[in-house]
């Protein structure tokens, strides 16, 4: 771990978490998160305008708390990194406007960075420099991708991605079908603890031999969601109780099975010996355990951040900014835009 290097402030507002992190070198000093998830829960999903307004209220207090936690003053910060995309444009704008204002006020550089690259690089705060090459399995509410990360994390090549729903979206939709709160992933994880993962054989998308040949590293979760909906409706039509724990465990098993099988296959096919997980779904206990088992069996080394660093946070953006600053990457200037669809191949503006 490096305790020298620039002191970098990271700001994350791409969805419903207002995250402010402080990192020096590769040392995490503060990771403040304010979430509007309780306000979103009554709508059963993230309402962009609600998220933007919540960021506006949360950002200044979160910044104060992060500085207090880290024991630093604003004037000591060397550079700022902020999520420029992908994400909800109105939500991104709040973080980007705050970052630019701070950069002007403090006279320091600002990096507009990629949220997805942050989910991969955050692991370095706990486990040191990422190996080169490494394959990243990035699974969140908006993305499910297999990424080949090379050139010391400077180059990210997408190997595959979801063709429909993201893994987190599948968790959230199934949770909704089961009457569990939003966001559903953590609730499915908890409910599954009391269930039988083999109770119901839910489909594994794009895993039949023909599909595998055409889409070896792509995912599809919309069929799973429909299968769960049909299964639950059939039970309700027959006036039978829905075994929530068994449905949760079986569905979680199907998602973890496909994600880990394809991730291990990508490592094997590309001759890469290290796999890193990232994104909110990487907090899932079954996914973490299955990835561990399968990587061990395949002779691969697995790196997984703590659950609190898997879900959206400011530390991951600060970590990416610190890496860019240390590598001498030029800052973004003040005229960079927010991009809802920023490609993962681009770490910063
Ligand atoms: O990375 P993230 O915090 O935000 C996005 O960039 O999307 O991911 C949020 C997603 C949600 O769909 C949430 O249900 C899921 O991550 N998630 C989980 C768990 N914790 C969060 N899914 C399964 N198991 C969990 N323990
Ligand atoms: Zn995310």
Provide the CATH number for the domain around residue 285: 3.30.420.40
Give yes or no: residues 48 and 150 share one domain: no
Instruction: For residue 185, report the distance from its CA to the centre of ligand 1, in Å.
Output: 6
Lowest mean pLDDT among 47-56, 86-95, 149-158, 332-341: 149-158
Give yes or no: residues 170 and 284 share one domain: yes
* Segment (H or E) for 277: strand 274-278
Compute CA distances 323 → 78, 152, 304, 341, whole Å. Answer: 13, 10, 19, 23
User: H helices within 12-88, ranges in order?
Assistant: 37-41, 48-70
Rama region for 318: left / alpha / beta (φ>0; ψ in -120 to 50; rest): alpha
CA 302 – CA 134 distance, rounded (Å): 10
Instruction: For residue 257, report the distance from its CA to the centre of ligand 2, in Å.
Output: 21
Give yes or no: residues 118 and 38 share one domain: yes
Identify which of 143, 280, 317 to mutate to test ligand 1's pocket (most ligand atoms within 8 A of the CB): 280
Look up residue 166 and give its DSSP letter: -
Q: Please determine, for residue 1, whether its predicted confidence score (pLDDT) is greater than 80.
A: no
Give yes or no: residues 293 and 158 share one domain: yes
Instruction: For residue 49, report the distance from its CA to the centre of ligand 1, in Å.
Output: 20
User: Cα 317 to chain center, whole Å?
Assistant: 12
Closest CA to 27 of 127, 97, 98: 127
Task: Give mean pLDDT, residues 229-249.
Answer: 97
Lowest mean pLDDT among 20-24, 116-120, 191-195, 324-328: 324-328
Which residues line the pocket of ligand 1, CB cutoff 6 A? 15, 140-142, 168, 171-172, 183-186, 189, 279-281, 283-284, 311-312
CA 151 – CA 146 distance, rounded (Å): 17
Length of the chain: 349
Is 175 inside a domain boundary?
yes
Q: Whose CA is nearest to atom 7 of ligand 1?
A: 141
Q: Which residue has the higher pLDDT, 152 or 229?
A: 229
Give yes or no: residues 300 and 321 share one domain: no
CA 105 – CA 74 distance, rounded (Å): 10
Instruction: For residue 35, report the distance from its CA to the centre of ligand 1, in Å.
Output: 13
Instruction: For residue 293, report the distance from its CA to the centre of ligand 1, in Å.
Output: 22
CA 60 – CA 105 distance, rounded (Å): 14
Q: Please determine, for residue 110, whether its predicted confidence score (pLDDT) is greater than 80.
A: yes
Q: Which residue has the higher pLDDT, 46 or 316?
A: 316
Closest CA to 125 of 287, 284, 274, 310: 310
- Give the pLDDT of residue 253: 98
Identify which of 45, 136, 140 to mutate to test ligand 1's pocket (most ligand atoms within 8 A of the CB): 140
Confidence of residue 2 (pLDDT cuts 50, 70, 90): low
Domain count along the chain: 2
Give yes or no: residues 143 and 109 share one domain: no
Is 345 inside a domain boundary?
no
Q: What is the mean pLDDT of the chain?
A: 95
- Among all ligands shown, which has an atom nearest to the Cα of 187? 1
Is 206 inside a domain boundary?
yes
Task: Give mean pLDDT, residues 69-89.
Answer: 97
Compute CA distances 228 → 5, 57, 61, 264, whole Å. Answer: 50, 38, 42, 26
Specify whether the CB–CB gap between 20 and 9 falls below 8 A. yes
Specify whether the CB–CB gap between 273 and 299 falls below 8 A. yes
Is the pTM for the entire model greater than 0.75?
yes
CA 185 – CA 225 distance, rounded (Å): 13
Q: Whose CA is nearest to atom 22 of ligand 1?
A: 185
Identify which of 33, 48, 171, 221 to mutate to test ligand 1's pocket (most ligand atoms within 8 A of the CB): 171
Other beta carbons within 10 angstroms of residue 57's beta carbon come to: 13
- Give the pLDDT of residue 3: 61
Specify whether the CB–CB gap between 159 and 347 falls below 8 A. no
CA 43 – CA 32 distance, rounded (Å): 25
Q: Whose CA is nearest to atom 8 of ligand 1?
A: 280
- Strand order through the sheet with 110-114: 27-35, 17-24, 7-12, 79-85, 110-114
Instruction: For residue 139, report the distance from its CA to the centre of ligand 1, in Å.
Output: 8
Instruction: Return the ligand 1 atom nearest residue 142 CA.
Output: 7
Is 340 inside a domain boundary?
no
Look up residue 347 and give its DSSP letter: S
Is 347 inside a domain boundary?
no
What DSSP string runs through 178-213?
TTPPSS-HHHHHHHHTTS-TTSS----TT-SHHHHH
What is residue 272's three-state secondary structure?
Answer: coil
Give yes or no: residues 82 and 190 share one domain: no
Q: Which domain holds residue 286?
A: 132-305
Q: Please determine, for residue 113, whether its predicted confidence score (pLDDT) is greater than 60.
A: yes
Give yes or no: residues 264 and 139 share one domain: yes
Give yes or no: residues 60 and 77 share one domain: yes
In tens, the pLDDT along 146-203 reads: 999 998 778 889 999 999 999 999 999 999 999 999 999 999 999 999 999 999 999 9
Instruction: Return the ligand 1 atom nearest residue 17 CA.
Output: 3
- Side-chain half-sphere exposure of 181, counting CA atoms within 13 A: 9
- Give the pLDDT of residue 326: 87
- Give the pLDDT of residue 35: 86
Identify which of 281, 288, 291, 340 to mutate to test ligand 1's pocket (most ligand atoms within 8 A of the CB): 281
Give yes or no: residues 69 and 87 share one domain: yes
Q: Whose CA is nearest to atom 21 of ligand 1?
A: 280
Give yes or no: residues 111 and 159 share one domain: no
Task: Give mean pLDDT, residues 124-138.
Answer: 96
Lowest mean pLDDT among 19-23, 146-150, 152-156, 242-246: 152-156
Structure tokens at 285: 């206990």
């Amino acid at each position: 771990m490096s305790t020298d290097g620039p002191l970098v402030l990271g700001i994350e507002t791409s969805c419903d978490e207002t995250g402010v992190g402080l990192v020096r070198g590769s040392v995490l000093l503060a990771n403040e998160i304010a979430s509007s998830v309780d306000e979103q829960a009554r709508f059963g999903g993230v309402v962009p305008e609600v998220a933007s307004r919540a960021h506006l209220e949360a950002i200044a207090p979160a910044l104060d708390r992060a500085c207090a936690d880290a024991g630093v003053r604003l004037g000591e910060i060397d550079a700022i990194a902020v999520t420029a995309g992908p994400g909800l444009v109105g939500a991104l704008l709040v973080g980007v406007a705050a970052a630019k204002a701070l950069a002007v006020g403090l006279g320091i550089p600002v990096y507009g960075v990629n949220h997805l690259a942050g989910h991969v690089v955050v692991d370095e705060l706990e486990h040191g420099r990422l190996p080169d090459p490494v394959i990243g399995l990035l699974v969140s509410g908006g993305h499910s991708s297999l990424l080949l990360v090379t050139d010391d994390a400077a180059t990210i090549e997408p190997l595959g991605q979801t063709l429909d729903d993201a893994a987190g979206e599948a968790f959230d939709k199934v949770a909704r079908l089961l009457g569990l709160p939003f966001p559903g992933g953590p609730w499915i994880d908890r409910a599954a603890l009391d269930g039988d993962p083999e109770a119901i054989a839910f489909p594994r998308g794009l895993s039949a031999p023909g599909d595998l040949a055409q889409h070896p590293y792509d995912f599809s979760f919309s069929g799973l969601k429909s299968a769960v909906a049909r299964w639950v409706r059939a039970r309700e039509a027959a006036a039978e109780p829905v075994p929530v724990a068994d449905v949760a465990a079986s569905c979680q098993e199907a998602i973890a099975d496909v994600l880990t099988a394809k991730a291990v296959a990508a490592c094997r096919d590309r001759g890469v010996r290290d796999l890193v997980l990232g994104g909110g779904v990487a907090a899932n206990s079954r996914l973490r355990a299955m990835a561990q088992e399968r990587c061990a069996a395949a002779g691969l080394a697995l790196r997984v951040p703590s659950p609190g660093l898997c879900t959206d946070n400011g530390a991951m953006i600060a970590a990416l900014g610190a890496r860019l600053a240390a590598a001498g990457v030029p800052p973004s200037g003040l005229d960079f835009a927010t991009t809802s669809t920023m490609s993962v191949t681009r770490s910063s503006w």
